[in-house]
Amino acid sequence: MSKTNAVARGSHVGRIWVIARHAFTQLVRMKVFYFLAVFAVIAIASNFFDLPQHEGPESLGVNVLHSIKSWSLGTMTLFSVVLSIVATALLLPKDVEDRTLYTILAKPVPRIDYLAGKLLGVLLLVFVSLALMDALMTAVLQIRTTVVLGQQLGMAQAQGWPADTVESLRRDTLLNGPTWSLQGAVFAVFLRASIMASLALLISTFSTSTLFTAIISFMVYFIGHFQADARAVYLHAGHSGESLAGRMGALLFSLVLPDFQNFNVIDAVIEGQTMPLMVLGKLTLVGLYYAVFFTAASWLVFAEKEF
């Protein structure tokens, strides 16, 4: 008995990982990966959304590369946000309802370990899903970029373009293919989903139902897309924005509610622009800030909760 009790305490990291792996398995066995089949269909179908063009070789086939990226990243966003909100909103109330939470908290498991484990499990699932979707998108994009490049170079040579212009065309086209910026955009999608998962976790600690958590989370998600505009309008209209209280209120608002306009860089990547490392670093810090803030707030509520 003493031997077992000596190791029974375990470590925070160990317990969080056990709960995270379990939450991941639980969600996988709910067959959420079936969505990947839908994604595969969308990624392949986006190959055929090629609008007819009558310009020169420089824009030949580029639209279809944009289409693949746009549809794929759009689907990834939809899937990751829906999954992170619904899965997080589901896990906590289900454990309370089934009384499995009693048996877990009756073990030497601090409540923060339980919360962090559940959140990490959801994030693990979102990460693996995005990685699989990313691999599929990159593969489709690579194949199509090779085809487009071949067509463009063929037409450019037929029209007798100079070598340096052809090289410039090749570089521009490759920027629309699978790039590190595109991988950065996928990571940004993951960061946005992480913020939403931690927010859903916070709401589910005081919510009475999964539906309520999901609705409020989606509302915050939509508000997050125009909160920066709303703040700007408020601060620059009338006298309220000039007062210290008004400015502090606006600052507090932005500290509590995430500004998803920061993630508009994903659209720029779809258009073939490069995502600077600094921007990705800033997004990572923003994501970390909100994830830690919401998780800490969840813990404050959950630590006092009675079952």
Partner 1 sequence: MVLKMCLPMAETIPAVEIVNLVKDFKTSFKAQLLRAVDGVSIRIMPGEVYGLIGPNGSGKSTTMKALLGLVAPTAGTCAIFGKDSLKVDSRNDVGFLPENPYFYKHLSGAETLRFYGKLCGLKGRDLEDRVGELLALVDLEGARDRRIGGYSKGMLQRIGLAQALVQEPRLVILDEPTAGVDPVGSRQIRDLILKLREQGITVFLCSHLLEQVQEVCDHVGIIFKGKMVKAGRLEDLIAIEDQTEIILKDADAELVAQIMALVRRSPGASLVRTGKPRTTLERLFLRETTNREDGV
| Positions that interact with partner 1 (CB under 8 A) | 1, 4-5, 7-11, 14-15, 18-19, 22, 25-26, 29-30, 98-100, 102-110, 304, 306-307
The closest alpha carbon to 119, from 87, 97, 82, 93, belongs to 87
Nearer to partner 1, 6 or 163 (CB): 6
Q: How far is Cα of residue 39 from the mean position of the Cα atoms in its chain?
A: 15
CB of 2 to partner 1, least distance (A): 9
The closest alpha carbon to 279, from 179, 141, 187, belongs to 187
Angle, CA of 189, 289 and 301, to the nearest 5°: 110
CB of 17 to partner 1, least distance (A): 9
What spatial distance separates the first Cα and last Cα of the chain, rounded to whole Å?
A: 30
Token pair for residue 91?
Answer: 């896990």
CB of 296 to partner 1, least distance (A): 18
CB of 9 to partner 1, least distance (A): 6
Angle, CA of 146, 63 and 138, to the nearest 5°: 45
Nearer to partner 1, 16 or 196 (CB): 16
C-alpha–C-alpha distance, residues 188 and 198, integer Å: 15
Residue with tokens 């502090």: 248
Nearer to partner 1, 92 or 149 (CB): 92
C-alpha–C-alpha distance, residues 72 and 61, integer Å: 17
Nearer to partner 1, 14 or 281 (CB): 14
Please compute, for residue 197, the number of CA atoms within 13 A of its CA located in the half-sphere on the CB side: 31
Nearer to partner 1, 25 or 264 (CB): 25
CB of 18 to partner 1, least distance (A): 4
CB of 37 to partner 1, least distance (A): 21
C-alpha–C-alpha distance, residues 89 and 84, integer Å: 8
Nearer to partner 1, 64 or 109 (CB): 109
Nearer to partner 1, 106 or 237 (CB): 106
CB of 11 to partner 1, least distance (A): 8
Token pair for residue 212?
Answer: 């309520």
Residues in contact with 30: Cβ distance below 8 Å, sequence separation at least 6, in sequence order: none
